[in-house]
Amino acid sequence: MSDLRLRLLSPTGVPDERTALPMGRQLVADGLITEPELLNALALQRRVDTRLGDILVAEGTVQITDLLAALARQYNAQQIDLRATPPRHSIAAALSHELCLHYHVVPWMWVDNTLLVATARPDTFDALKRSIGVRGLLLLPVIADPSAIRDQIGRLYNPELTVKAVTRVSAHESCRNWGANNTARTLWLWSAGLALLACTILAPAWTATAACLWAVVTLMATTLMKAGALIAQAAAGLRRRKAPAPTVPPPFRLPRVSVMVPLLHEKEIANALIKRMERLTYPKSLLEVVLVLEASDTMTRETIARTELPTWISVIEVPDADCLTTKPRALNYALDFCKGSIIGVWDAEDAPEPDQIEKVVLRFQTAPADVACLQGILDYYNPRTNWMSRCFTIEYATWWRLVLPGIARMGLVIPLGGTTLFFRRNILERLGGWDAHNVTEDADLGVRLARHGYRTELLPTVTHEEANCRPWRWVRQRSRWLKGFMITYFVHMRNPRQVLRELGWWRVAGLQVIFLATFSQFVMAPLLWSFWLIPLGLPHPVLQTLGPLPVSLMIALFLVSEGLNLILGLTAVSGRAHRHLWPWVPTMMFYFPLGALAAYKALYEMVTQPFYWDKTQHGYAEATEEV
């Protein structure tokens, strides 16, 4: 046997008598840490659910290289450099990618009939061997850098992980087959278009009347939902004043939290993002921020490469896959590499509150088991940039602070936002993560959670983002949201009876309003605007077909809806931080016409480019608020 084989096979993978000291004592004996530093780390370990070595590295007390060397000595194992001597692709068959991801290991080399497995957690190696069972396979550990292990798992099991990221969600709950029947869908749309053209030619006034009636019916539905949400919020405010003080939960060990931050073509935002993450007060030994990059995105990779990352921020590169470049596919791929029992998502431009993770952990600790997701509140740090950013802030203050909490209190399905989301990992994996083909993966996941019997709660923690303040970028972003809303609606209404059994009449009715009626309002907006012709003395088709009384009722509904929107907007920005936006609330009627253009773009892309992800670029607005 060669010297190399003798050297590699000599480790036993268990501590010997000479190196049987606990890790902390061994580091003190080696002069790598002091006694007070060890005592401080041990005191922290009593409150957090992680290893002592992770605490010392996260606190900057020990370098990861020194910790790995100490592990190698403690377990009498060989330390290797996976980047200098990576495993061959043929060795991937020795272990499944599921085992490698679960135990954070990767097969490295065969020596005779012994498989050397790279790990940074030799304390879990016996569990790995037990999970394999008796197969005549002899495993021995070698110690390697955890980031290098992660990179080699991605390299060795690229095909399996890439396919899994695209197909995690079951086919009957996914929109990935939306493009398969493109010809049939195109023929159906052509038929519908020709039928509409024929009706317009044969009975133009009644065709216009029917379209106006649909616009009015959906306007009534959305108005009733907003009014109900406002009333529910007002009632909840009264109950909060009378509610007793919340009970303090008993002490518990804090869990590990992994937060994924998808990045794509981000040049301006990366440095600011890292500074914002550094403000978080959750113990860094339990916090894992994962920057998720596309492998082909050289711009973001070069930006990150110029930035020194703390040990608790890592980078995952998502391999290319059949021209599908979407945020949910990237999240699915990165999910398997995350270590936390709580999984979060932030966007590239996000500035979360420093204590946001503590609030998430505390609520999950006290919440019922069916609460699978916590959704934070979004706000914007550049409302003063221009008129559009002011309107954007007013719109989303209304949605996040009044309408969404109100519909949650009404028991309706909550369409999630794409950021400041936190999940119980086991439930997220049970549902298959995100639909990789859906361009509003957040709204889709919110519906799937409800259909599987889980609940989403809104958490009173704020994340600041950049308000979209450029017209064409606004249209592109809104068209993606509207396209995804309608695709999500059609996916979940494939089997109405099943959805009715799972959600009940009330929540199914809510789906019609939140998705179908909302989309219809954007598409039909010009028809509602046409009623302004009547006060000007100009002719209108509905006057000819239905007469003046129905038209008067429609105009009254339109005015009531506008009045309600005004009340909602003023109430939403009545707080001290947003009160400067009051004078701009009446101008919101001039803000929404761009939504009609976005809706028509969404309709076109639903047929021609259903999976196209129209990326919203950030970093163009000057931050006008302290974040």
CATH number of domain containing 509: 3.90.550.10
435 plus 299 within the same structural domain: yes
**pLDDT at position 544:** 85
The least confident of 163-167, 331-335, 614-618 is 614-618
105 plus 234 within the same structural domain: no
Residue that finishes a domain, picked among 132, 166, 200: 166
Residue that finishes a domain, picked among 472, 493, 527: 527
108 plus 222 within the same structural domain: no
Q: How confident is the model at residue 627 (pLDDT cuts 50, 70, 90)?
A: very low
CA distance 143 to 70: 10
**pLDDT digit string, tens, across residues 229-282:** 999 998 887 666 665 666 666 678 899 999 999 998 877 666 788 888 999 999
Residue that finishes a domain, picked among 150, 166, 182: 166
> Which residue's structure tokens are 């219809």?
520
Residues whose CB falls within 8 Å of the CB of residue 550, separated by 6 or more in sequence, listed in order: 542
Which one, of 443, 284, 465, 277, lies nearest residue 373 by Cα? 443
- Domain annotation covers residue 190: no
Percent of the chain with pLDDT over 90: 56
267 plus 373 within the same structural domain: yes
**pLDDT at position 15:** 54
Say yes or no to pLDDT of 542 above 80: yes
**pLDDT at position 1:** 39
**pLDDT at position 178:** 77
Q: How confident is the model at residue 626 (pLDDT cuts 50, 70, 90)?
A: very low
> Which residue's structure tokens are 């005549």?
136
Q: How confident is the model at residue 579 (pLDDT cuts 50, 70, 90)?
A: very high
Range of the domain at 121: 3-166
- Domain annotation covers residue 575: no
CATH number, domain containing residue 18: 3.30.300.160
Residue 448 or residue 193, greater confidence: 448
The torsion of the CA quartet 20, 23, 28, 29, rounded to 10 degrees, works out to: 20
159 plus 228 within the same structural domain: no
Q: DSSP letters along 79-120, please? A: E--TTTSPPPGGGGGGS-HHHHHHHTEEEEEEETTEEEEEES
Say yes or no to pLDDT of 620 above 70: no
pTM: 0.90
162 plus 223 within the same structural domain: no
* Residue 377 near residue 463 (C-beta atoms within 8 A): yes
**pLDDT at position 259:** 97
Q: How confident is the model at residue 61 (pLDDT cuts 50, 70, 90)?
A: confident
CA distance 238 to 91: 64
521 plus 443 within the same structural domain: yes
Q: What is the mean pLDDT of residues 33-44?
A: 86
Average pLDDT of the residues of the chain: 87
Say yes or no to pLDDT of 2 above 50: no
Residues whose CB falls within 8 Å of the CB of residue 248, separated by 6 or more in sequence, listed in order: none
269 plus 125 within the same structural domain: no
Largest CA distance in the chain: 101
301 plus 388 within the same structural domain: yes
161 plus 301 within the same structural domain: no
- Helical ranges in 373-511 per DSSP H: 387-398, 404-409, 425-430, 441-451, 471-492, 496-511
The least confident of 93-107, 308-322, 391-405, 429-443 is 308-322
391 plus 277 within the same structural domain: yes
**pLDDT digit string, tens, across residues 67-94:** 999 989 888 899 999 999 999 999 999 9
Which one, of 344, 571, 340, lies nearest residue 461 by Cα? 344
The torsion of the CA quartet 332, 451, 377, 315, rounded to 10 degrees, works out to: -10
- Domain annotation covers residue 325: yes
- Domain annotation covers residue 612: no
**pLDDT at position 503:** 96
Residue 532 or residue 84, greater confidence: 84
Give the CA angle between residues 163, 169, 173 to the nearest 5°: 135
- Domain annotation covers residue 270: yes
Q: How confident is the model at residue 57 (pLDDT cuts 50, 70, 90)?
A: confident
Residue 305 or residue 387, greater confidence: 387
**pLDDT at position 335:** 96
Q: How confident is the model at residue 302 (pLDDT cuts 50, 70, 90)?
A: confident
Say yes or no to pLDDT of 6 above 60: no
Say yes or no to pLDDT of 7 above 90: no
Report CA Rg, the chain. Answer: 28
CA distance 444 to 487: 9
For residue 165, the surrounding DSSP H or E stretch is: helix 158-167
* Residue 373 near residue 422 (C-beta atoms within 8 A): yes
For residue 304, the surrounding DSSP H or E stretch is: helix 298-305
Q: What is the mean pLDDT of residues 100-124?
A: 92
Counting the structural domains of the chain, the total is 2
- Domain annotation covers residue 552: no
The least confident of 22-31, 277-286, 406-415, 442-451 is 22-31
Provide the strand spans (E) within 28-77. Answer: none
- Domain annotation covers residue 180: no
157 plus 229 within the same structural domain: no
CA distance 615 to 195: 35
* Residue 256 near residue 369 (C-beta atoms within 8 A): no
CA distance 103 to 57: 20
The least confident of 68-82, 145-159, 221-235, 293-307 is 293-307
- Domain annotation covers residue 45: yes
Which one, of 467, 465, 415, 460, lies nearest residue 575 by Cα? 460
Residue 49 or residue 124, greater confidence: 124
Say yes or no to pLDDT of 20 above 50: yes
